[in-house]
Amino acid sequence: GQQLNQSPQSMFIQEGEDVSMNCTSSSIFNTWLWYKQDPGEGPVLLIALYKAGELTSNGRLTAQFGITRKDSFLNISASIPSDVGIYFCAGPRAGGTSYGKLTFGQGTILTVHP
Amino acid sequence: DAGVTQSPTHLIKTRGQQVTLRCSPKSGHDTVSWYQQALGQGPQFIFQYYEEEERQRGNFPDRFSGHQFPNYSSELNVNALLLGDSALYLCASSLARGRSTEAFFGQGTRLTVV
């Protein structure tokens, strides 16, 4: 079945450092979504990408839609303790009637040391 | 503007019992999707409801069923509960038109089957 592979699986960084994580797939995606999930909560949408090569920012977060449409990257600049959580990439399969049927990666766990 | 709300937040059931989970979508949204998230995993798509009909379904058995009401709220029903059904159940709402892949999640219902 279709899979999204996120790396790294976990990251331990110092406050103030920049963070990079990525998501790859064997299938083409028309949309890439990045979510953050805190313990015991639902995922919160951070950034949505709709076009190959697109670079979108949301505050200290920047995400890019890969040119091949099979990958995406999320960067967090100047990390702060509240950035702690699990970051998921997600997207609907290209073509067909997959709107709303999101496939998620397994997540990147981010820990920020003060 | 109310976001996606789910009830109850926590639930403990016995193996073999049946459970009903409820979701109210974000104001203005007409599509509801349900996801199951096991511990340490990304959410897995169960099914999606639009116009009171199941539109898409993931790889889940018929024990999982749902309903959407005229006010767009939705229920997820699980029959003959198994221990493996213990998970966080997430509801996501979106718009059928436009950028419907932007799904917004509720806080989830933590189901424990004992």
Residue B34 CA to residue B12 CA, distance in Å, equals 19
Name the percent of chain B lying above pLDDT 70. Answer: 96
CB contact set of B22 (below 8 Å; sequence gap of 6+) = B6, B7, B73, B74, B75, B76
Q: Which tokens belong to B70?
A: 């005229």
**Which chain B residues are Cβ-neighbours of A98 within 8 angstroms?**
56
Task: Please give the pLDDT value at position A97.
Answer: 52
Beta bridge partner(s), residue A58: A61
Is the Cβ–Cβ distance between B83 and B73 less than 8 Å?
no
pLDDT in tens, chain A (114 residues): 458 999 999 999 999 999 999 999 998 888 899 999 998 899 999 999 999 999 999 999 999 999 999 999 999 999 999 999 999 999 886 654 555 688 999 999 999 998
**Which chain A residues are Cβ-neighbours of B58 within 8 angstroms?**
101
Residue A8 CA to residue A14 CA, distance in Å, equals 16
Contact across the interface for A88 and B110, Cβ inside 8 Å = no
Helix, strand, coil percentages in chain B from 3-state DSSP, rounded to 5: 5, 50, 45
Q: Does any CB of chain A come closer than 8 Å to the CB of residue B104?
A: yes
Residue B102 or B99, more confident:
B102
Indicate the residue type of B32: V
Task: Please give the pLDDT value at position B112.
Answer: 98
Cα–chain center distance at A59: 15
Best residue of A101, A104, A108, A109 to probe chain B, by most B CBs closer than 10 Å: A101
Residue B77 or A114, more confident:
B77
CB contact set of B62 (below 8 Å; sequence gap of 6+) = none
